[in-house]
Structure 1
């Protein structure tokens, strides 16, 4: 008898249906619902192939939200973090180089500059 244990215990998810977690099941059902809704809403207006592509494109974001993680964040956490950093609270980060060698020699350079000015007068 063998019991499988994740290497990282924080990555453990309990599977509910077909090996999917509850989160994945909810988003899968939501994606299927959106696809069905789009199919019946658009079928009278466009052809079958176009409707099938629209269903796929409409359901894909919802399906991805159940499965995608990025740096340990779920999809909606990532979207919220991106919105905060890029839209709500953007910051201008300026690069100001610091020449340590110039700063160390600055007093000597200023002294030589003053001496040079006195010699030219």
Structure 2
């Protein structure tokens, strides 16, 4: 008997319905609902092949939201992070360059400049 164990414990998800997690199942049901509503809404206007492609394109975002992770975040976590970073806590980052070498030798450079001015006078 072989038992599958995830290498990373954080990747564990509990299967609830048909081998899917609750989140995946909910998004799958939403994708099916969108596809059905597109079909019944457009069946009088387009042919079967066109409607099937529109159904696939309409359901894909909902199905993808349930299964795809970006940088270890689910779609909701990514959306919340995006809203926080762009709208709630926007930051204007400015860069002020500093010449560390000049700061260390500033007194010496000024001393040499004063000596040069005295020589030319």
TM-score tier, shorter chain, comes to 0.7 to 0.9
- Per-residue CA deviation, residues 68-119 of structure 1 (Å, 9 max, x unaligned), is 1122211111012112212333212122222211111111111122222333
Aligned to 2:28: 28
RMSD value over aligned CA atoms? 1.9
Of 80-89 and 55-64, more deviation after overlay is shown by 80-89
TM-score (norm 1): 0.84
Aligned-residue offset at 1:27: 0.7
- Mapped partners of 1:5, 1:41: distance in 2: 45
Moved over 4 A (4+): none
1-structure distance, mates of 2:116, 2:47? 85
Distance 1:44-1:26 versus aligned 2 partners, 3 A rule: same
Q: Could you say if the C-alpha distance between residues 55 and 88 of structure 1 is closer, same or farther in structure 2, counting changes exceeding 3 Å?
A: farther
Q: Which residue of 1 aligns with 2:116?
A: 116
Decide whether aligned partners of structure 1 residues 50 and 6 sit closer, same or farther in structure 2, where only a CA change above 3 A counts.
same
How far apart in 2 are the matches of 1:55 and 1:45?
A: 14
> Partners in 2 of 1:9 and 1:58 — Cα distance?
34
Q: What corresponds to 2:9 in structure 1?
A: 9
Partner of 2:55: 55
Number of aligned pairs?
121
Structure 2 gap segments, 5+ residues each? none
Partner of 1:13, secondary structure, is coil
Name 2:78's counterpart in structure 1: 78
- TM-score normalised over the length of structure 2: 0.84
Greater share of residues in strand = 1
Unaligned runs of 5+ in 1: none
